[in-house]
Structure 1
Amino acid sequence: MPLRLGTDRPELTGATEWFAQDRLPSDLAGKPLLVHFWAVSCHICHETMPDLIKYRDQYKEQGLEMVGVHFPRFEADTDLEKVKEDIAKYDISHPVAVDNMHQIAQAYQNEYAPAFFLFGPDGKLFFRTAGDKGFEKLQPKIEQLLGQDQA
């Protein structure tokens, strides 16, 4: 069963490796957080990553934090060198958990890449979506969460 809206944010534990930062910021509590699942073999992940990075930078001043979870879909996806290459290629400077054992994916009840989980400052799930069609709905939800949808 998918993680329900209003559910508390699961812990980001069980990663086999962390990149772009040794550990999560200790002050994630009380901040909006976007957790995105991706894989090096995922074409849609590669297509959406530049816009995702743009959102990270665009909404940082409003307090949005981002954590990536590399979620391997195939054995070849567990190659850490490929993960490092994508991190460099897409300028992923936010924390990235490598979830080779799928422990984070299980905690988030996620089986998709790309998948996006947006949590409010209260730590509750505000929005979740997956795929390229779901990605199209992400920015308006970020703006809604941050109170920027009132024009």
Structure 2
Amino acid sequence: MPMRLGTPMPDLSGATEWLNGSLQPEEFKGAPTLVHFWAVSCHICHETMPDLIRYRDEWIGQGLKIVGVHMPRQESDTDIEKVKQDINTYGITHLVGVDNRHTVASAFQNEYVPAFFLFDHNGNLYFRAAGDKGFERLKPKLDSMMQDYLSSQA
């Protein structure tokens, strides 16, 4: 069963490796957060990544936290050099967990890439979606969540 809206953000500590930094769970407390699952073999992930990076850049200075979770779909996806190459190619500067054992994916009850989980500043699930159709719904939800967050900070 998929994670329900309002559910607290699961633990991210099950990743097998962290790239672009290390996991500091306290940095997510009180911050709106986007958790994005992707894979190097996922064509839709590659198509949507430039827009996702634009969304990140639009909101990161306003308090948004973002975590990528690389969730391999096949054995060749576990090649860390391929993951690093995609990180470089797409300009992924945010924290990326490599979830080769699918521990993080299981905690999020997620089977899909790409998949998007928005958590509000209280740490509760605000929105979730997967695939290209889900990605189309991400931007309006992200904008709404961030506007709510900024209003609450004023």
**2:120 is the counterpart of 1:82:** no
Mapped to 1, the partners of 2:134 and 2:72 lie a distance apart of 20
**Which structure 1 segments of 5+ residues have no match?**
none
- Aligned runs of 1:89-108 on 2, under 5 Å? 89-108=89-108
Mapped to 1, the partners of 2:119 and 2:25 lie a distance apart of 15
- Aligned runs of 1:1-150 on 2, under 5 Å? 1-24=1-24, 26-147=26-147
Mapped to 2, the partners of 1:74 and 1:49 lie a distance apart of 20
Aligned residues: 148
Letter of the aligned partner of 2:8 in structure 1? D
Secondary structure in 1 matching 2:22: coil
Mapped to 2, the partners of 1:50 and 1:132 lie a distance apart of 13
Contact 1:24 1:95 in 2 (8 A): no
Secondary structure in 1 matching 2:92: coil
| TM value normalised by structure 2 | 0.93
Letter of the aligned partner of 1:16 in structure 2? T
Secondary structure in 2 matching 1:27: helix
**Which structure 2 segments of 5+ residues have no match?**
149-154
Letter of the aligned partner of 1:41 in structure 2? S
Letter of the aligned partner of 2:78 in structure 1? T
Mapped to 1, the partners of 2:25 and 2:49 lie a distance apart of 22
| 1:41-75 per-position Cα deviation (integer Å, ceiling 9, x unaligned) | 00000000000011111011221110000000000
Question: CA 1:108–1:25 in structure 2 vs 1: closer, same or farther (change >3 Å)?
Answer: closer
Mapped to 2, the partners of 1:131 and 1:121 lie a distance apart of 25
Mapped to 2, the partners of 1:103 and 1:70 lie a distance apart of 11
Which sits farther off after the overlay, 120-129 or 58-67?
58-67
Mapped to 2, the partners of 1:119 and 1:22 lie a distance apart of 20
The 4+ residue runs of structure 1 with deviation greater than 4 A are none
| 1:71-106 per-position Cα deviation (integer Å, ceiling 9, x unaligned) | 000000000000000000011100000000000000
